[in-house]
Chain A
Amino acid sequence: MRASALISLIVVMLMLWFLVQQSWPYWQHYGLGSFVSGDWYPYESLFGLAAAIIGSFWAALIALAIAIPTGLAAAVMSSEILSGPWRNLIRGSMELLAGIPSVVYGLLGLWLLLPFLQSSLHLLTGHNLLAAGLLLSVMILPTIMVMAQDALSEVSASQRDAAASLGMGWSARLWRILLPQAWPGIRSGILLALGRALGETMAVMLVVGSMDRIPEPFYNLLSPAQTLTSRIGREIGESAFGSMHFSALMACGLLLALVTIAISLLAHMHTDSARAT
């Protein structure tokens, strides 16, 4: 057990070391100024990170805004309202959704979502941040739903009975007992889902539009955009190993790795503290 934990730690450290080493020329040359620059033109040696950071932020935010209420509603429905067979059906469906490869989601997005957005919103193209966010929301929904359902089912029957005995109605029991007590597990699910939303590459790359530009205005979700992952996925094959372009892409990777590691640690810390209390 300890050996496998140590091996995992060593692999993560090696990965980070590799990313730092490969991105070092980029940081030396561009420094922290790269975070505020939105220009990314490799042939002109312009490698600003802002456009991709903003794109990742919006895509993840849209995904969470849709998946959190939907996932929580599905978890409450499944855990508190539905009977055994229906509960198992929903749970099974969610686990099935979680197992579908992301490229399949991407293809479905290309085939169904983009034409739908284009025609219903009268856009020149359906490739945009909204499409990426919608697709991601479906992909992270199972994580939130399954973890929330597990957390809700861990609220003890004695607490539920005590609340019911006090004459608290279903809605009061939900808001005052179930959700507060299940919150640590729900929060961990949200953080893990956020990690997946930020790290998802293939599906996002197929629908986001890959436009290296900060949306104008910056909250324009109907604009084609770029995320950190889609940029790496699309350009890594075109960059020469050891070039500044390659180094800049490694810098994107390092940024992603640090954010997702921080989110995972945060989720684990919250889970541990919840167990301790």
Chain B
Amino acid sequence: MNTKKNKITTVPAELPQQVAANDAGDTSLHVSKLSLALDGKNILRDISFSLPAQGMNILIGPSGAGKSTLLRCLNLLHSDWHGELRIMGHDARCWPEGEDELRRSIGLIAQKPALFPCSIQQNIVFGLSRKECSYMPQIRIEKVLKQAALWDEVKNRLHDHAATLSVGQQQRLCIARALMLSPKMLLLDEPTASLDPRSKQFIETSLLELAQNMPVLCVTHDIEQAKRLGGQVIFMCDGHLIESGDSKLFFKYPNRIESREFLRWSVCDCS
């Protein structure tokens, strides 16, 4: 794999906009000086980084660091942020086909599976328009279910209600639902929190396979999971991006004192 493409580049906040724009050409996602305040409180402060065109990226940090909020900003669920966000070279705020189409291009999986009250199959095609549904072959459903490591468990019960699945299966169904829209990248917000080890393993395996074809940004505060998933690491604390880089290096030789504190105690006091 191209090493350049698989390397996260932390863009210093003081870099001029021109540099950031040029850099965005090789990346799938480029964030520059992104800040967000909610109810007068600064949640994200001058976050800058870029994601390569494919590969696993882990966003770690203690609770309240702003990881989930950052994902919501990347998907424009929060839209009142300041800074620059470029996706596939386009300014996210001026996405050619509009905000809704941008969200279809970025699969976002929440921490708790949010399924709609209908069958497994209807959930998978929920994001498609009626026209898309009409010519969507069954083989496509099978493909995304296989990608989400769920096919073997649901192939004979696609018309059962989605609520009959276990929580781990529901989470994989959410991944399949997002994949059905052929996203250009996948954002996951602690997708395995409160899941059993077996379900965790299924999801991690599935994510690693997906990361071979698209950028996957996975939020976790589970350091062991971050080590297993590997790839690149972005470490956040109190709304700041503290450190980023190759996961092996990060876990072995963290540069910043906040990173060392977090890796040792799973907490960080950088406020």
A and B assemble together:
yes
Judged by a CB distance under 8 angstroms, whether B207 is at the interface is no
B77 surroundings in chain A (CB, below 8 A):
161, 164-165
Q: Is B100 an interface residue (CB 8 A)?
A: yes
Question: A167 contacts which of B104, B110, B112 (Cβ < 8 Å)?
Answer: B104
Specify the chain B residue showing the minimal Cβ separation from A177: B116
Q: Contacts A161-B77, A162-B116: A168 and B127 contacting too (C-beta < 8 A)?
A: yes
- A166 and B110 contacting across the interface, CB-CB below 8 Å: no
CB-defined contacts of A167 to chain B, threshold 8 Å:
100-105, 127, 181
Q: Taking each of B102, B110, B127, which has the highest tally of chain A beta carbons within 10 Å of its own beta carbon?
A: B127
0 or 1 for each of A136-174: is its CB under 8 Å from B? (1 = yes): 000000000000000000001011011111111100000
Residues of B within 8 A of A (CB-CB), count: 22
A161 with B114: in contact, given A167-B127, A168-B127 (CB under 8 Å)?
yes
Contact (Cβ within 8 A) B181 A166: yes
B127 & A166 in contact (Cβ 8 Å cutoff): yes
A181 contacts chain B at the CB level, 8 A cutoff? yes
Cα distance A225–B103 when bound, in Å? 56
Knowing A161-B110, A165-B77, A166-B181 are in contact, say whether A181-B100 is a contact too (CB < 8 A).
Answer: no
- The residues of A that contact B127 with a CB separation of less than 8 Å are 166-168
| Total A-B pairs, Cβ < 8 A | 48
In Å, the complex CA distance between A166 and B107 comes to 7
Bound-state CA distance A166–B180 (Å) is: 10
Contact partners of B244 in chain A: CB under 8 A: none
B108 CB-CB contact with A under 8 Å: yes
| A contact residues around B104 at 8 Å (CB) | 166-167
Complex Cα distance, B226 from A172, in Å, reads 37
In the bound complex, residues from chain A placing their C-beta under 8 Å from that of B102 are: 167
Q: Is the CB of B114 within 8 A of A159?
A: yes
Report how far A176 CA is from B123 CA in the complex, Å.
Answer: 12
Q: Which of B87-145 contact A (CB under 8 A)?
A: 100-105, 107-108, 110, 112, 114-117, 126-127
Q: Tell me whether B116 and A165 are in contact (CB under 8 A).
A: no
Q: Which residues of B contact A159 (CB under 8 A)?
A: 114, 116
Q: Please determine whether B103 and A164 come into contact, CB atoms closer than 8 angstroms.
A: yes
Question: Given A167-B127, A167-B181, A177-B116, does the pair A162, B110 have CB atoms closer than 8 Å?
Answer: yes
Complex Cα distance, B72 from A165, in Å, reads 9
Is the Cβ of A169 less than 8 Å from the Cβ of B114?
A: no
Fill in one digit per residue for A204-219: 1 if any B CB lies within 8 Å of its CB, else 0. Answer: 0000000000000000
Taking a contact as CB atoms under 8 Å apart, the answer to whether A166 and B177 are in contact is: yes
- Closest B residue to A173 using CB positions: B100
A residues in contact with B203, CB < 8 Å: none
Q: How distant is the Cα of A164 from the Cα of B80 in the complex, in angstroms?
A: 16
Tell me which of B75, B102, B104, B116 has the highest count of chain A C-beta atoms within 10 A of its own C-beta: B116
Docked Cα-Cα span, A63 to B46, in Å, equals 56
- Asked if residues A181 and B103 are in contact (CB atoms below 8 Å), the reply is no
Cα distance A47–B6 when bound, in Å?
Answer: 88
**CA of A168 to CA of B107 in the docked complex: distance in angstroms?**
12
Contact (Cβ within 8 A) B126 A166: yes
CA distance A161 to B177 in the complex (A): 14
Within 8 A of A (CB), among B45-102: 75, 77, 100-102
Q: Is the CB of A165 within 8 A of B75?
A: yes
B268 at the interface (CB under 8 A from A): no
Q: Which 8 A-B pairs rank lowest in CB-CB distance, beginning with the nearest? A: A167-B104, A166-B127, A162-B114, A158-B114, A165-B108, A167-B103, A167-B100, A169-B100
* Pairs A–B under 8 Å by Cβ, sample size 5: A161-B77, A165-B103, A168-B100, A176-B126, A277-B117
